Amino acid sequence: MKFSVIIPVRKICEYTYEAIPYFKEQSYKDFEIIIVSEADEEKKFYKTKIIKVGRIPPAEKRNLGAKYAKGEILAFIDDDAYPEKDWLQIAFKNFQDKEIIAIGGPGLVPKNATFFQKISSKVYDLSSEKTGIRYKKGKKQEIDDWPTCNFFVRKNEFMKIGGFDSKYWGVEDTLLCHSLSKIGKKMIYNPELIVYHHPRKTLKQHLKQTFFWGMWRGFFIKKHLNQAFNPLFFIPSAFVIWLTAGGLISLTNRYFAGVYCISILLYFIYLIIAGIRTKKISFFIPVVFLMLLTHLSYGIGFLRGLFSFRNGPTKQTLNPSEKLKIGAKI
């Protein structure tokens, strides 16, 4: 069984040089690496093919990588992540079960992560029981959605469903998993299938990423309500609305103001409990503060996507000035 490891990049960077040695150390040796880059690259790496593309979204880079892949299994990993040495070996054992169509694993914080990166990852870990296992080692279980920072799928089935739909940059992996689920085979979360994934380095980058996720999730639910409805996705937006509208109403109605103040108190108790769950004194205040900002950022982004026009929350991407081309087919 051959694996094709597909890595979309803007250009070769320090994370690429960090990751390549970990691929060299893989205990399972039957694999190739396909780097899909926007830049002209002259570098040569172990078992690596580099494909030059224009300014296209990550989903389309992954589609193009799949097109040139020779492996039976596609292994998607982000450009700012690197795997454990038995990453491919564990995937190989799982795919011996013919009923398994895809496998996902956690993206743990690298040992060299900064303090802020550890806080960022911890906030995502604590924000939801459903998605928290993406950032820590949970229990092995069936899944119906998984991000492509650490995701394996059989190539034949991937090609049959047409790969990723890049119209939904930010939730294209959700749509892919939904399409895969219709085939009638299992998708598995294996906590031993580990990669180390660098979180965003700064508060601005963290909040921009969270807003981005919320925005495209809101738009995706608007377009595919029957496929993607989950009340949990609406909670941050409901909090944003309650925080603003409730605050204004409280100014004119003292009885409502009492209810409003109690609700805010309960929310801060929730934040305090989240801080305690970190089990680290140094994490307590940063996690409480960042979790509040994360909920607000995601909630505002979700509303932005939910009430966007039919072509999407932006004309092209989160940053229209990039003028990325969307629509490449595999």
CATH assignment of the domain containing 136: 3.90.550.10
- Do residues 171 and 277 both lie within one domain? no
**Is residue 32 packed enough to be buried (19+ CB in 10 Å), middle (13-18) or exposed (0-12)?**
middle
* Residue at a domain's end among 200, 235, 251: 200
Last residue of a domain, one of 141, 176, 200: 200
Q: Which residue ranges in the chain fall short of pLDDT 70? A: 168, 224-229, 309-330
In a domain, 102, yes or no: yes
Give how many domains the chain has, as a whole number: 2
pLDDT of residue 227: 56
* 218 domain residue, yes or no: yes
End-to-end CA distance of the chain: 23
In a domain, 274, yes or no: yes
Same domain? For 211 and 252 the reply is yes
Q: 292 and 241, same structural domain?
A: yes
Confidence (pLDDT) at 329: 38
Which domain covers residue 121, as residue numbers? 3-200
pTM attached to this predicted model: 0.87
Asked if residue 253 and residue 195 are part of one domain, the reply reads no
Both 237 and 190 in one domain: the answer is no
Of 142, 166, 200, which closes a domain? 200
Are 183 and 236 members of one domain? no
Please report the pLDDT score of residue 327 as a whole number. 42
Say which residue the tokens 């100014």 belong to: 251
Same domain, yes or no: 159 and 15:
yes
Q: In terms of domains, do 315 and 245 share one? A: yes
Within this chain, do residues 8 and 32 fall inside the same structural domain, yes or no? yes
Task: Please give the Cα distance from 88 to 322 (Å, whole number).
Answer: 35
149 is a domain residue:
yes
Predicted local confidence at residue 226, as pLDDT: 58
Asked if 40 and 185 sit in the same domain, the reply is: yes
Cα four-point dihedral sign 62, 131, 292, 245: positive
Question: In this structure, is residue 229 part of a structural domain?
Answer: yes
On whether both 20 and 103 belong to a single domain, the answer is yes
Report yes or no on 74 lying in a domain.
yes
Q: Are residues 26 and 172 in the same domain?
A: yes
Res 31: pLDDT:
97
Answer yes or no: is 330 within a domain.
Answer: no
φ, ψ of residue 262 in degrees (nearest 5) = -65, -40
**Residues 49 and 68: beta-carbon distance below 8 Å:** yes
Residue 329 lies in a domain: no
Residue 330 in tokens: 């595999």
* Residue 38: exposure state from Cβ atoms within 10 A (0-12, 13-18, ≥19): middle
